[in-house]
Amino acid sequence: MQRASRLKRELSLLTTEPPPGITCWQNENQLDDLRAQILGAADTPYEKGIFNLEIVVPERYPFEPPKIRFLTPIYHPNIDSAGRICLDVLKLPPKGAWRPSLNISTLLTSIQLLMAEPNPDDPLMADISSEYKYNKQLFLLNAKEWTEKYARQ
């Protein structure tokens, strides 16, 4: 019950006061199956891209983090081809930084930040990470190409 009322409150806040460049909604009236869209930030290779995400809220939420993955392909060192995201706030301690005080809005904002500033030292995609570190121009070119190909509406 606590989970449902908290989710309703979070969704209502995401609807009335969404973080800039982020939208989130229920998928087919399922409270634990959400969809989100993140707009690629200006001055990043993801600029003008619209990235769709799937959010699955576990039974134990907020004591367990939601499972979030990209549905839109994205060229990024911390996001793999299945859309999984390497981000500490998406994992439980001791390896992760999830806390029940965090919410879906915070997570989506953290993902948006990760898009703008990849962390090549904690990659899911080693090849993209080394490209980001040692040949940034090529990385930017590839990321822009993927954004054009997959994330433009």
* 104-116 helix and 2-16 helix, angle to the nearest 10 degrees: 50
Nearest to 114 by CA among 89, 144, 140, 151: 89
- Strand order of the β-sheet with 67-70 is 22-27, 30-39, 50-56, 67-70
Which of 22, 85, 86, 104 does the annotation list as catalytic?
Answer: 86
Active site residue 24: no
Kindly list the catalytic residues. Answer: 86
